[in-house]
Chain A
């Protein structure tokens, strides 16, 4: 009992200030009315910031939690409206809650991104100079690659060229794992690509810094790291964009050159199906344990 109390207590015991006043909306030249910030939104922002990136279902859960704490009886806003409201307030700070989609299976994700800086600044506070440079090197290899993946070997071979304190290959391996844990990179069979978080945060920076090397999706016109390409004309598409574009199309053809699309068409992401799959998986688990 003591331990539970001890773990649940907090030194941050200030009186909550219930602020929900509307800021004047006669912003010079602005046609958009600035939103209203209440404690529901503030708690949401505070807790969202503890995640680097969050999946949509968890974002909705977070939203419901914040309503429960501050405004039990209110109807929960539609997530899109809720976030747009917050973003209209964040605008003045040049940050926003950005929605993206994972490149491999089209799951919607959210991150609080900086709109103003054109650098990898968010990483700058958690990593040393040489670690940041390692990331930059990996980033360049990923962008230049055909598949969107850079092999561990190729990245580690650049360890001598890093700025800052000298880093050994063994150390660099651990730094790469740090990037994976903090969701800047994804690792698949010894190769690395950008996590959805990195794409959300750094798309602008990447497009401006590597304008010749970047690949763009033919459908959504956003930055493309992983995707499928037409073997005839070379245009590229994100896997989720392919899924949507060719949905229930028996004869998929390249939107640019009309040649037959040679790749397997992935399924469109369905949040309901994903949750069911998650539940049935956990049911199987509990069954297994009962059998012991």
Chain B
């Protein structure tokens, strides 16, 4: 669904965009830096028409841009900024649906001919996402080439009153399942999950007035969104499955946070579960230590 309209917009639009764009006309004389960069790229360009925005802060990045010039036409500063803008919007929209974004999709739907400067574009997009919107672009797992956005702003209860969408009402159910998995030693059988949820009035076969189809939510949606892992247990009859935390959960929350949630629900203190509390503490220490493979987008 995303593909066709975007493609049409892009192929037709690119030429229109550039020819119709008259904003950059009064940027005046370009600085020596700009000229030097243009020359280094090996393209004969006129002074780049638009030179505002993070061009300045990205200046050092631009200077370090690769010297390899592809067979495609010249790319002005403005064209690159437009690409970064497209990329930022693409990532925002995809993440809104909580679908991890595949690098292949990014290349196909947004980057196109700009493939050679993809790492630079992605880096700039990540910087804009962080500075402007407060979202951090992270790779789901090292070398997975899939990305998600983490909100660096702490969500607040009152946000719900000023939002335009329902946020994610299903998050509560997710938290319960995550809590259950952690408290039961990081793995739990599907049968145990439903035994537990039944007590809350949530059934796999019955439509729920808030969560809709709980079975689909837990075994499909949350799995697709990478919050949960769902694996078949071999040699079980009838077939049983087991749940574990997915990679997105570890990025978006922590064992300590989930333990605190569970404690709150029981009106108790996290320390009342010493084994889990120890595990959560160890996890916190691990997180505090700098990671060897950075979570920044890799090329």
Contact = CB atoms under 8 A, between A and B. Distances in A.
A2 B265 contact: yes
B28 A29 contact: yes
Contacts of B55: 27-28, 92
Interface in B32-51: 33-34, 51
B77 to A, nearest CB: 9
Contacts of A92: 52-55, 81, 85, 128
A27 B52 contact: yes
Interface stretch (A37-45, A75-83, A239-247, A282-290): A37-45
A141 interface: no
B106 interface: no
B133 interface: yes
Interface string B251-275: 0111001000100110000000000
A14 B200 contact: no
A45 B8 CA distance: 29
Interface in B274-293: none
Contacts, number: 201
A17 B153 CA distance: 7
Given A27-B56, A94-B81, A119 B261 contact: no
B56 A125 contact: no
Contacts of B51: 27-30
Nearest to B264: A5
A178 interface: no
A250 interface: no
A291 interface: no
Contacts of A62: 162
Contacts of A17: 134, 152
B172 A121 contact: no
A110 B202 CA distance: 40
B109 to A, nearest CB: 10
B93 A39 contact: no
B296 interface: no
A114 interface: yes
A26 B31 CA distance: 11
A29 B53 contact: no
B294 interface: no
Contacts of A11: 171, 174-175, 178, 227, 249, 252-253
B72 interface: no
A90 B252 contact: no
Contact of B133 (A34, A46, A127): A46
Interface in B167-191: 167-169, 171-176, 178
Interface residues of A, number: 65
B11 to A, nearest CB: 11
A259 B168 CA distance: 57
Interface residues of B, number: 80
A89 B154 CA distance: 22
A116 B51 CA distance: 15
B85 A94 contact: yes
Give the most central of B130, B172, B174, B200: most A CB within 10 Å: B172
Contacts of B153: 16, 39, 42-43, 46
Contacts of B85: 92-95, 116
B165 interface: yes
Contacts of A233: none
A42 B9 contact: no
B17 A9 contact: no
A132 interface: yes
Contact of A5 (B52, B128, B265): B265
Nearest to A128: B1
Given A47-B162, A116-B17, A16 B154 contact: yes
A74 interface: no
Nearest to B222: A11
Given A12-B155, A50-B163, A128-B1, A39 B52 contact: no
A14 B152 contact: yes
A65 B152 contact: no
A219 interface: no
Contact of A23 (B57, B159, B175): B57
Contacts of B168: 10
A12 B283 CA distance: 17
A95 B89 contact: yes
Nearest to B159: A47
Given A95-B85, A114-B89, A29 B29 contact: yes
Contact of B131 (A5, A10, A19): A19
A28 B30 CA distance: 7
A24 B53 contact: no
Given A2-B200, A6-B175, A119-B12, 20 more contacts: A5-B172, A10-B167, A12-B155, A15-B152, A23-B57, A28-B31, A28-B52, A47-B163, A51-B163, A65-B158, A92-B52, A92-B53, A116-B86, A119-B13, A121-B5, A124-B2, A124-B6, A125-B2, A129-B5, A132-B5
Q: Sort A-B residue pairs by CB-CB distance and give the 5 closest, nearest first.
A: A92-B53, A51-B164, A6-B172, A29-B27, A124-B5
